[in-house]
Amino acid sequence: MCDTCGCGQPNDEVTIRKPGDEKHHEHKHTHEHEHEQDHEHEHEYQSHSHERTIELQTDILQKNNLIAERNRGYFEAKNIFVLNMVSSPGSGKTSLLERTIKELGNKINFFVIEGDQQTMNDANRIKAVGAPVVQINTGNGCHLDANMISRAVKELDAENNSVMMIENVGNLICPSLFDLGEAKRVVIISTTEGDDKPIKYPTMFASSHLCIINKTDLLPYVDFDIEKTKQYALQVNHHLEFIQLSVKTGEGMKVWYDWLRNSMKNK
Amino acid sequence: MHEMSIALNIIDIAHEEALRANAKKINEIEIEIGTISGVEISALEFSLDIAVKNTFLENAQRKIIPVQAKAECLECNSIFSLTTFYEPCPNCQSLTINILQGKELRIKSINID
Ligand SMILES: Nc1nc2c(ncn2[C@@H]2O[C@H](COP(=O)(O)OP(=O)(O)OP(=O)(O)O)[C@@H](O)[C@H]2O)c(=O)[nH]1
Ligand SMILES: [Mg+2]
Ligand SMILES: [Zn+2]
Ligand SMILES: [Zn+2]
Ligand SMILES: [Zn+2]
Ligand SMILES: [Zn+2]
């Protein structure tokens, strides 16, 4: 296990802020586990013991799932269509959001939540193309969770009848377990990655609705077999849809826009 | 890795349940982890070793029980065990399968005093 990423460790610090807010406005992540030191005395007054087993069958992620459902209810009430965009680092998530906002921003209200371990870079890029954005810096954490989204959404104050795109931390493993309350999960893979990614990281592909294959402009130069990728991905999840595109040249972007508009209507 | 988040969630839940039951201590906790849940049991053990310090679970016995993944073939209806998400049906080789179990992340029980 990697020891640099104890995501959610009691002393890690998550910050949520808007571009330009760099100095003030820091929300320190306070942790529920802090009180756990004083258990022993809390319970010492009980002198005799009754050993017993309690059957729980409790989902370990129930807290996250509860908050995710709460987020989902909020989004549905405000008719906000929410996408959770996941991928390895550098697949082109932010580029896809930038181009989409530039080309569709006059017809659809976009709001963006950016998740990265460090820096405001991606939020600044989104702000530059004119969409309201909040940056979540997870510190050591390698995924967003529903609680971070709940807090970020309060900062963002998205309008009714809009689209919210959440760019998750670049990581194909951890984000797969954490429902954020999204309507659809979109996994992005680029042609500079291995075409066996879907079977190397099956949990992510199994939990996604749409797979975008980006950087098709590079296909002549790389050893990437699109059909093989699709085949692998379908083995993991036979409901998965695919769109291949190049954010750089714009090839295939229309298919993505059509998917977006259709999914907004039919959600 | 996300196993640390999982470990902290386990500690939180066990803590709450123990308080609710007025427990003096937790003797044992049983945890079920599906073999295709995306959580590595060894990484989870490692995270728990670190995270349980100074908590209710510090001295509790831990039983982590793997739940073998099983799927149903949508072509021929046979039910079979699998080690990955993407194994063909051993009977008809179809890849159109439905996962029945193996994604569990669950606290099964706690034994308390
Ligand atoms: N050739 C080519 N390059 C692209 C394309 N889309 C994005 N890129 C490049 O890929 C690099 C990474 O793009 P980003 O949009 O920052 O990727 P990201 O997924 O947001 O990265 P992280 O947030 O760091 O995980 C940049 O240099 C982009 O210019 C594409 O369609 N074709
Ligand atoms: Mg990015
Ligand atoms: Zn916590
Ligand atoms: Zn890690
Ligand atoms: Zn993680
Ligand atoms: Zn079969």
CA of A215 to the centre of ligand 1 (A): 8
Q: Within chain A, how many helices (H) and strands (E) appear? A: 9, 9
For chain B, which residues make up each domain, given as ranges? 2-68+102-112
Domain assignment present for residue A107? The answer is: yes
Q: What is the pLDDT of residue A175?
A: 94
Provide the ipTM: 0.91
- The segments of chain B whose pLDDT lies below 50 read none
- Cβ neighbors of A106 (< 8 A, separation 6 or more) are none
Measured in Å, residue B99 CA sits from the centre of ligand 6 at 13
Report the CATH number of the B2-68+102-112 domain. 3.30.2320.50
pLDDT at A48: 59
Q: Does the CB atom of residue A94 touch ligand 1 within 6 A?
A: yes
Helix (H) or strand (E) holding A219: none
Look up the pTM and report it.
0.87
Report CA-CA distances (Å) from B10 to A16, A145, B33, B62, B105: 26, 16, 12, 11, 10
Least CB–CB distance from A7: residue in B4, B10, B85: B4
Q: Cβ contact (<8 Å) for B110 and A56?
A: yes
Token pair recorded at residue A242:
């695919």
The total number of residues written for chain A in this structure? 267
B112·A51 Cβ contact <8 A? yes
Query: Is A1 strand, coil or helix?
Result: coil
How would DSSP label each residue in B76-95? T--EEE-SSTTPPPTTT---
Q: Report the chain A residue with the minimal C-alpha distance to residue B93.
A: A235
- Token couple for A37: 């030191």
Shortest-distance Cα residue to atom 13 of ligand 1: A92
Residue A1: per-residue pLDDT? 28
In a domain, A132, yes or no: yes
Along chain A (267 residues), what's the average pLDDT of each consecutive run of 10 residues? 38 80 50 47 55 95 96 98 97 98 97 96 97 95 94 95 97 93 98 95 95 98 97 93 98 98 87
Residue B85 touches chain A, beta carbons under 8 Å: yes
Give the pLDDT of residue A5: 40
Percent of chain B with pLDDT over 90: 86
Domain-located, residue A108:
yes
In chain A, which residue ranges form alpha helices assigned H by DSSP? 39-43, 62-77, 93-104, 121-128, 146-156, 197-200, 202-206, 226-236, 253-266
Any idea what the Cα angle at residue A80 is, between residues A247 and A132, rounded to 5°?
60
How many whole angstroms separate alpha carbon A253 and alpha carbon A212?
10
> How many domains, in total, are found in chain A?
1
- Interface probe, candidates A11, A40, A60, chain B, greatest B C-beta count within 10 A: A60
Q: Which residue of A lies nearest to B20 if distances are taken between CA atoms? A: A54
Residue A16: its H or E element: strand A15-17
Return the pLDDT at A187.
Answer: 98
pLDDT of residue A34: 45
- Residue A82: give the domain boundaries: 62-266
CATH number at residue A255: 3.40.50.300
Nearest CA to ligand 1 atom 6: A92
